[in-house]
Amino acid sequence: MIFTLQFIGLIAAGAVMIGFSGWSEALALAGAGFISLAIVLATADWAYLRRARLEVTRTCDEKLSLGAQNPIRLSLRNPVYVQIRGIIRDEYPEGFDALGNVAPLDLPPRSEREITYYVTPPNRGDHEFGDIYARFFGPLRMLVRQVKYPARSSVKVYPNLLDIRQYEIKLRREHAVQPGQKLVKIRGRGTEFESLRDYVRDDEFRSVDWKASARRGKLVSRQYQEEKSQNVLILLDCGRIMGPVIEGLSRLDHAVNAAMMLAYATARKGDKAGLMAFGEEILTYSPPKGGKAQTLNLLRLAYNLQDAAGDSAYQRAIPYLSRRWTRRSLVVFFTDFVDPEASRPLISQIAGLAKKHLVMCVAMADPAVTQAASGLPETPEDAYTAAAAVQTLTARKQAAMQLARSGVIVLDLPPEKFTPGVVNEYLNVKARGRL
């Protein structure tokens, strides 16, 4: 039990009156009355609060989504015939942002209530919720009873699973990731047979089915659609170049979110997805496989990846991949480039990889640099910042152009377009039959 300011105020007032009772005996009586009143009221609150009971249960997903608002539910039950008024506070994992974890309590006798608040994890990995604390106010506001409910539990923060659920609805409705985008069967491309149809003037002669034409007495063409079960290899650069934070998440966190969304999209499209992550060493490798089970496996492999303090060993990672996987695939490389000279090891290794595979190099543009380059300087410091930003963007474009000349698909996307841009480009590659 904790005494409130009201109780302390009454006691202090009585003590002051008794202290000045030398001036008047009435002050002594009044002071004793104030103290007696405080004790009587506190006793009444104590008798009330000792009867108060509250049952609390926390409910949340075992896997939280990185950078998203995850709902946390507190189920409250008042099992006794006492009104409960007070405050409840849940102890969320350190470093998380929380909205509404402290809430007022006002439960009538024998009632139930559910409180929902939201946490936003800033990092992937393993985290822990703490205990739940409640304070019950006495009806006379003389005492407060504080109760701790043991509720420690571990959670794992994964790449953004909430976005996957949202994209799943769009994929089901439109067979695409972006609203308005639909996967179209393109005639004459792909190698998987779909159907026969009458020959038209623009058809290639190699698409003519001569046996079917002989049976029908007229020219008949084969119609093909995009191949199924193509291989998609996701490469995650976990070196220090992926450490800078952009809009609340590191480059690596953005990359992992997009990579997992891409893995999910490949499973939905019937393709096989694999993953390799590396920094100074090879961190994890899983060859391409199909199905939702593989998507979950890649989530388990990627949820706790951290950016390294050293440089990425491209000269070790790319040869390692070439030895472990030889089938032609779409290789989606999440990394970053600075300028042609600093990115020379990256460019040379990706150029070699592009001789056998279709390579997509994905980087994230920093909105702060873009804004600094386009802004009008007002001070000499602003002019210097703008000049440095322009120089940075120019060098970055030069590095991207070198990659593009090697046949690499280069995506340099801002944060808001990062994930949908990657998945849309994958769908475009499939639609055009580039594999």
Residues 400 and 263 grouped into a single domain: yes
SS3 of residue 204 by DSSP: coil
Give the DSSP letter of residue 186: -
Distance in angstroms (rounded) separating the CA atoms of residues 350 and 252 = 19
The CATH number of residue 415's host domain is: 3.40.50.410
Whether residue 362 is predicted with pLDDT greater than 90 in this model: the reply is yes
**Predicted confidence (pLDDT) per residue in 399-431, tens digit:** 999 999 999 999 999 998 999 899 999 988 988
Question: Same structural domain for residues 348 and 199?
Answer: no
pLDDT at 177 over 50: no
Q: Which of 24-28, 331-335, 408-412 has the lowest mean pLDDT?
A: 24-28
Q: State mean pLDDT over 120-145.
A: 92
Q: What is the pLDDT of residues 306-322, one digit of tens each?
A: 887 788 999 999 999 99
**% of residues, the chain, pLDDT over 90:** 54
Q: What is the mean pLDDT of the chain?
A: 87
pLDDT, tens digit, for every residue of 231-244?
A: 999 999 999 999 99
Residue percentage of the chain with pLDDT more than 70: 91
Same domain, 420 and 366: yes
The predicted pLDDT at position 187 comes to 44
Residue 391 pLDDT > 70 = yes
Domain that holds residue 74: 55-158
The larger pLDDT score, comparing residue 8 to residue 382, is at 8
For the cut 90, the answer to whether the pLDDT of residue 289 exceeds it is yes
Structurally, the chain folds into a number of domains equal to 4
Same domain, yes or no: 267 and 125 = no
Same domain, 350 and 378: yes
Residue 22's CB is within 10 A of a number of other CB atoms, namely: 9
The residue with tokens 């199909």 is: 290
Round to whole Å and give the CA distance between 17 and 23: 10
More confident residue, 20 or 331: 331
3-state DSSP assignment of residue 318? helix
Question: Are residue 145 and residue 206 in the same domain, yes or no?
Answer: no
pLDDT, one tens digit per residue, over 248-269 is: 889 999 999 999 999 999 998 8
Q: Does residue 35 sit in the same domain as residue 86?
A: no
Q: Where is 87: in which H helix or E strand?
A: strand 84-90
Query: Which positions ≥6 away from 41 have C-beta within 8 Å?
Result: 7, 10, 140, 142
Per the DSSP assignment, residues forming a β-bridge with 106 are: 85
Q: Which of 5-14, 175-184, 208-217, 353-362 has the lowest mean pLDDT?
A: 175-184
Please count the CA atoms within 13 angstroms of the CA of 279 that sit on its side-chain side: 14
Are 100 and 136 members of one domain?
yes
Checking if the pLDDT of 180 tops 60, the result is: no
Rounded to 5 degrees, φ, ψ at 357 are: -115, 165
Both 176 and 116 in one domain: the answer is no
Q: Comparing 227-231, 373-377, 418-422, which segment has the lowest mean pLDDT? A: 227-231
Tell whether the model's pLDDT for residue 186 goes beyond 80.
Answer: no
Do residues 92 and 197 share a domain? no
Residue 179, CA atoms < 13 Å, CB-side half-sphere: 1
Q: Which helix (H) or strand (E) holds 353?
A: helix 344-353
Rounded to an integer, the average pLDDT of 131-146 is: 93
Do 41 and 111 belong to one domain?
A: no
Q: Do 217 and 302 have their domain in common?
A: no
Q: Note whether 224 and 194 are within 8 A (CB).
A: yes
pLDDT tens sequence across 42-71? 999 999 999 999 999 999 988 888 888 999
Instruction: State yes or no: pLDDT of 224 exceeds 90.
Output: no
What is the CATH number for 84? 2.60.40.10
